[in-house]
Structure 1
């Protein structure tokens, strides 16, 4: 006799993805009372469909999915919307396709370039602005720089295989790299440039949080303002303990995850 299936808000029973898969949420998001919203049942079915289609596969239209699962198009729309926010689906033109795996970036003193190359992707950057200004009080308090001393501000869009995946703002004292505007290729690694100048990293403090992009940031990265972002603040020092850089890195939450090695 087959095992009874979980009722789902008076909808027909559904089969759920393997709840014990490594990294899967406990009970695949099903609450203890065993009832879930209708859209979530549809989301589980679409998630199973993604495994069949594979990366780059085009999912059926909202109308087709609604007919297949016998639900309203708005129910399908909500399910697809969540899968897009999670990075499992991507909008492409007028269609929606299965996304590839997220880029995994280590929380370490490695550059963005190194992290992306290790995953077989081609890193790149598009220059937004490179200017200089007197160091303001908040930046001086954070970094230990002197208030009023000249500071470079380097802002670039981060690319992976020509896809816009983030936005990076770097602040560094002009005295450390006086020819940054003349010698530095904005599409290259800033850390590589510093190494060529004989500057080595010693240590850094990082803080990670989730945010929503501002309208300007969303426009530069090419994402909807409602897309969750991962924001990393970093303050770096050289091997002598002197302040080196202050970096604000904004990454698409649907395209990035981060790893860290911990040792007791």
Structure 2
């Protein structure tokens, strides 16, 4: 993938979805600000897929910016930074301050699904947290749980870990602060979403410390890529797991890929209908949340 050339900025990194730039003449070690540009690329099962989802970068950025404005927690946005974003990438970029990121994905689950459901079926627990017997895929948990993951180097799989293992990696004080802050942010967001007829089944946050040592929310937040959103009315109506978990995120992509690829070699191209459905659901989510 070739990054876009932006006058005044130097491209330094390509992620699965985002591009990172520093001011011309700087590098990642000394840059006072960073430009994060969200592309239309979509990833699943640790692979970037073709084709991308139209307007996805813009939609993800809009969601993150909206949530940052709703949450009473320090975040990495530069105040007034939106006015200094290059016109070529306006609408899908964030000007942010650099953070010393924790190598942890702070996952909070309010409902049982995904890898948590798979682990529960084997051990009746998720990352060592025991759960009641008899839960079904998509059930609401008695209370939200914090299930961290270790961020593996690019190209490797992230690893679900216990809280005790997280303490070994980042220290007890940081681990406790990250857990408590993650649960607090999830609780606030879940209440906000439910008022709009939406469920946040689970989500992941990424935090770092700023130049003053303050734990700060970074990366994206509560987007369709980092969270599972379901329709509250459909969930309340019951039915099959597919009906209960009517999704506003990239689960459509995951489901199609799981049914049409054995995870060996290069993933197949996404059909046009899957691309269109995913784009529609992303757009509908923003409309419902921000209306």
| Range class of TM-score, shorter chain | under 0.3
For normalisation by structure 2, the TM-score amounts to 0.23
Query: Structure 1-normalised TM-score?
Result: 0.25
- Relative to its length, the structure with more strand (as a share) is 1
